[in-house]
Amino acid sequence: MREKLEVFALVLGFVGLVGTIAVTALPMWRVSAFIGANLIVMEILWEGLWMNCYRQADFRMQCKVYDSLLIIPPELQAARGLMCVSIVLVVISLSVTGCGTRKSSCCGDNMKSKNITLALAGILYLLSFLTTLIPVSWVGHTVISNFNNPLVLDSQKRELGEALFIGWTTSGILLITGVILLFIYSKRRSKEEGPYSDTYLIEARDVPKEESVYLERTPSSFHKHHEYV
């Protein structure tokens, strides 16, 4: 059962890696919201971490990379850095998880090292969950706040893009993966420490203490007097 959980965690980790790469690369973080007098359904504007894409009527969509990092909003600047960190963390987590499985030959037969490796992978997955959830939620909160803000012009309002929903789903997958790995680690540790702790207690009872002094019991003079009588 635990081996199946390990394989399941590896599959989820790979899905999380694909999800973080897709979220980082897709330009659909913020999409155009044409409301009120600006209702032009034939226009589409996508804004991502690296580029924006624009299409009007039947023309082919054109994408342009940002000329400078300073021209994009602060939340997208932070999201760019955090999503790159997420990709690195997921790649490391996936590699560490492979080394911590039972059938892996990375640590040989040393199960203690494999358990520590598996726990480290779980912690890294939880960190990647945070570095994915924070930028996606930050951008989503900004989009919703600006959309409901009457001071923002209708032409500047945006809606939630598909990349944000993929990001929330990916962060959930990373969270589940980390929890599964920590659960496997706790089960392994409890299983290994149980028999060894009982054996240690039994051996400790049988082995005399080094500092203890053995006093031979000798009969008292009163006892000898009673035996004589």
Quickly state the pLDDT bin for 6 (edges 50, 70, 90).
Answer: confident
In degrees, to the nearest 5, what angle opens at C-alpha 9 toward C-alphas 8 and 10? 90
Q: Which of 16-30, 50-64, 72-86, 113-127 has the lowest mean pLDDT?
A: 50-64
Q: Is residue 174 part of a domain?
A: yes
Counting the structural domains of the chain, the total is 1
Of the two residues 185 and 101, the one the predictor is more confident about is 185
pLDDT at res. 157: 82
- 16-30 per-position pLDDT tens digit: 999 999 999 999 999
**% of the chain beyond a pLDDT of 90:** 37
Q: Distance between CA atoms of 181 and 195, rounded to whole angstroms?
A: 23
pLDDT at res. 185: 83
Q: Is residue 50 part of a domain?
A: yes
**Contact partners, residue 170, CB within 8 Å, separation at least 6:** 15, 16, 19, 20, 22, 23, 132
Q: Is residue 82 part of a domain?
A: yes
- 120-179 per-position pLDDT tens digit: 999 999 999 999 999 999 999 999 998 888 887 777 788 898 999 999 999 999 999 999
pLDDT for 215 beyond 60? no
pLDDT at res. 166: 95
Of the two residues 54 and 210, the one the predictor is more confident about is 54
pLDDT at res. 202: 45
Q: Is residue 124 part of a domain?
A: yes
Of the two residues 18 and 7, the one the predictor is more confident about is 18
Q: Is residue 23 part of a domain?
A: yes
Quickly state the pLDDT bin for 117 (edges 50, 70, 90).
Answer: confident
Calculate the CA dihedral of residues 159, 165, 168, 173 and round it to 10 degrees. -170
User: What is the amino acid identity at position 180?
Assistant: I
pLDDT for 114 beyond 50? yes
Q: Is residue 67 part of a domain?
A: yes
Full domain range(s) for residue 145: 2-201
Mean pLDDT of 82-92: 95
Quickly state the pLDDT bin for 225 (edges 50, 70, 90).
Answer: very low
Q: Is residue 86 part of a domain?
A: yes
pLDDT for 214 beyond 50? no
pLDDT at res. 198: 46
Of the two residues 110 and 81, the one the predictor is more confident about is 81
Q: Distance between CA atoms of 7 and 13, rounded to whole angstroms?
A: 10
CATH of the domain at 46: 1.20.140.150
Q: Is residue 26 part of a domain?
A: yes
pLDDT for 34 beyond 80? no
pLDDT at res. 3: 75
